[in-house]
Structure 1
Amino acid sequence: MKRHAPATERNRQPIADVLRGVLPERGLVLEVASGTGEHAAYFARAFPALRWQPSDGDPEALASIEAWQADSGAPNLLPAVLLDAATETWPIGRADALLCINMVHISPWAATVGLMRGAGRLLRPGAPLILYGPYRRAGVPTAQSNEAFDESLRGRNPEWGLRSLEDVAAEAEANGLRFERLLEMPANNLTLLFRRA
């Protein structure tokens, strides 16, 4: 029932370091596509003044998230909710920050469109949307490991694959989110920071 993603142990501390300078001091963080639940358990302990709301569109992922939650002992880690980013109806009406790790490339483009619409609805002005994962950038060569990863993803599902940073930023802008900055992360990943206008 409890799933494990090896990349989580490698990337959780670098992501937490970025979050430390971006998340509000208090409030609700909605994590979209929480996957195994390992990040949620780790970040809830790292940021005890924030309420951490994990979510996922896969019922099996929810079971894993709940198992990690039970072991975490973090009182600020809320029960996981079923949330399909591509849909118009989300089970959460307001959040003080949105975090989405490694979903944009492992889902159809409709999920990214839905994520941006949801962030535009849920976030107050100035609140952050933080994305983490590999992206393509105009004028910047893509790492060979990311090219191989993209090929592997498209082999599993032709609707998946690395997205263009410019396309993601345009979709964000169309939903009232302005691109603030990107941060280079380990293993050829990026953190993208947007804020609700």
Structure 2
Amino acid sequence: MEPDQVKIVLIGEARVGKSSIISRYISNTFQEFGTPTLGCAYHTRQLNINDKILKLNIWDTAGQERYHSLSKSYSRDSKIIILVYDITSYESFKAMKRWHEILQKEIVLPTTILGVFGNKADLIQSEEVPIIEAQKFANVINASFRKTSAKENAGIEEGLIELCKRYLKIGDHGAPRESLRISKQDLYEKHKKSKCCGNKSK
């Protein structure tokens, strides 16, 4: 059986950590000081949810203003769009909201699944975006919300699985559901890797 092709696009300003999120998810790697994405970068990974095989086609879009039109173009026909902001930068949160307005007018279809990732949650002591405000925005736009940390490998895989379950209309216990439940929790958790597996976060 051919896997279901799922196009996922990450949108947000430069330096919010979109590339770091994808690198952590795809190859479990993290670079403290990565180079900015130029245009768009493409990655794939297969995911099995309840015996349903999905091929995730993940697009990392550049946040610099000169690439905005290109980012909009790559967002077309997306099944899932993830809006990313940096929890230590309120400006990046406001920019993310502007991105949603643009996408809503030009790109997003009623069937598009939306996610909001508040990245760099390991820098909680420098947080500028109130968790209640971020969650409220996510609820208003019918998006799943999650805090993530590419550095500590937290929340990313769980967030993507949640979005894919929404795409498949699968509930928490594996049964199909008619309506989508939006999480109202701060779902950022630090997940420790088993020593026996030899996986350590950078």
TM-score (normalised: structure 1): 0.43
Larger helix fraction of residues: 1
Higher relative contact order (CA 8 A, sep 6+): 2
TM-score (normalised: structure 2): 0.42
